[in-house]
Amino acid sequence: MAKIVYFNVSEITRDYYKENPLPVKAETVFIEKSPADLTADELKNVSDADIISVFVHAVDVGARILAQFPQLKLIALRSTGYNNIDLNYCKEHNIEVVNVPGYGDSTVAEFTFGLLIDVTRKISRSFRAVQEAHVATDRYLGFDLKGRTLGIIGTGAIGRYVAKIAKSFDMNILAYDPYPKPEFASEYGFKYVSLDELFSSADVISLHCPLTKDNYHLLDETAFNKMKKGVVIINTARGELIDTEALFKALSAGKVYGAGLDVLEYESALIHDDLYLSALNANETDSLLRSLINLRMLQLKNVIITPHVAFNSIDAVHRILKTANDNIISFLNGKTVNSVLKKSDKPV
C-alpha cells in the first residue's frame, strides 16, 4: 500500500480531501508545514513516503530535502509552476513529477479586471477616504473602460479569458504573443500586433505570459518610453516581467496612470527559483534595492498591490486539489499524466 504525504495542508485542503478521499488503498498523511520546515524527527516519520504532494508555498524542494525520501516515486504538485523542484535530481533518481497545468483561467482573468477597475475608478482610495473621514470627490475622478484599448501580452488560456471579459466592456483589444494563433484572434475578437505597436497604442497593458530568460524585464524604461502617457499597467503573471525601478519612475512621473500588481520582483516565494536567479544575474544589493522600491510603491496612491492571490478562489483551489489527486490516482494505476519531466525535456 502506497504512503502519500501531503505538505502545505490548509484547512480547505484538509476538508476537501476528507470529503473526497482517494478511491484507492493508500496511507495518507497531512502536514501543515513545507518539507524544508520539518525537524529531523518529523522528516524521519514520513521518510518512507512513496508519493509527496506540495503546494506552491513549498519554496525549496531540492536535493537536500528529496534525499530524505529514499522510496519516493512521485511528486504531485498542487500548482502549475515547478521551479521549486530539483528536476535534475528527480530524473537521476527516477522520481516522476506531475503538476496542475490549468485551473484558474477565469479566476485570474476576473481578478485582473478587479485590479483594473479598482485602479481606473479608485475604489480602494475612495474607501480609505471614507474610513479616514477625508472625502473629497474630485480626488477620485476615474475613467471608463468602454472604448479604451486593452493590450494583452500573452494569449494563453488566461489572456484569452481576459479578452473575453474585455469584449463585454466594449474595449478594443490588441494582443502580442511570440507564438500567435490567428484562430484565437478570430474567436476572441482581438488583433495581433507587434510589441512596439501594442506599447504605443494601448490605454491598458495586462501581462499574462510566463517568465522566460528572453522576457525578463519586458517592461523596462525603454518600453515605458514607448507607451502612451496615462497608461495603466496590470500584472497578475510574474513580478520579474517588470523592471521595478522603471515602473516606479514612470508612476512617479505620471507616465503611468496607475498599476495593479498581484506579483512583484523578489517575492519571498520566488527568491530561490533558479530560473529567476540565472535570468536576473542579481546580487544582494540589487535584491535589496528593488525590495526597497517595492516598499516605496506601496505608498503611491495610484498603485494597488496584492499578495499573489489572483488564483485564490474556492473554485480554483478545488480544481487544483481534484487534478492533483487525479494525477496521483492515474500514477497508482500505472499511467502518468501531466508529467513535468516530459515538458522540461522539450526545447523552450
| CATH number, domain containing residue 23 | 3.40.50.720
Residues 234, 131, single domain; the answer is yes
Residues 130, 212, single domain; the answer is yes
Q: pTM for the full model? A: 0.82
Instruction: Assign residue 147 a region (left: φ > 0; alpha: ψ between -120 and 50; beta: otherwise).
Output: left
Q: What pLDDT is stored for residue 344 in this prediction?
A: 53
Instruction: Assign residue 170 a region (left: φ > 0; alpha: ψ between -120 and 50; beta: otherwise).
Output: left
Q: Which of 292, 227, 221, 302 is nearest to 261 (CA)?
A: 302
Residues 99, 149, single domain; the answer is no
Residues 123, 153, single domain; the answer is yes
Residues of the chain with pLDDT under 70: 57-59, 267-291, 343-348
| Structural domains in the chain (count) | 2
Grid coordinates given for 100: 496542475
Q: From the candidates 110, 197, 245, 267, which is the catalytic residue?
A: 267
152 - beta bridge partners?
Answer: 175, 206
Q: d(Cα 283, Cα 286) in Å, to the nearest integer? A: 5
Residues 110, 80, single domain; the answer is no
Residues 154, 244, single domain; the answer is yes
The 8 Å CB, 24+ separation contacts for 122-125 are 124/304, 125/301
Structural domain harbouring 11: 2-103+314-344
Contact 73, 28 (CB under 8 A): no
Q: From the candidates 238, 240, 265, 290, which is the catalytic residue?
A: 238
Instruction: Assign 207 to helix, strand or coil.
Output: strand
Using the 8-state DSSP alphabet, how is residue 61 labeled?
A: B
Does residue 125 have an active-site annotation?
Answer: no
Q: What pLDDT is stored for residue 268 in this prediction?
A: 52
Residues 197, 297, single domain; the answer is yes
Grid coordinates given for 88: 535534475
Residues 172, 152, single domain; the answer is yes
Using the 8-state DSSP alphabet, how is residue 339 labeled?
A: B
The total of other beta-carbon atoms located within 10 Å of residue 330's CB is 14
Residues 15, 137, single domain; the answer is no
Does residue 318 have an active-site annotation?
Answer: no
Residues 243, 189, single domain; the answer is yes
Q: d(Cα 201, Cα 224) in Å, to the nearest integer? A: 12
Residues 50, 66, single domain; the answer is yes
Burial of 115 (0-12, 13-18, 19+ CB in 10 A): buried
Contact 198, 176 (CB under 8 A): yes
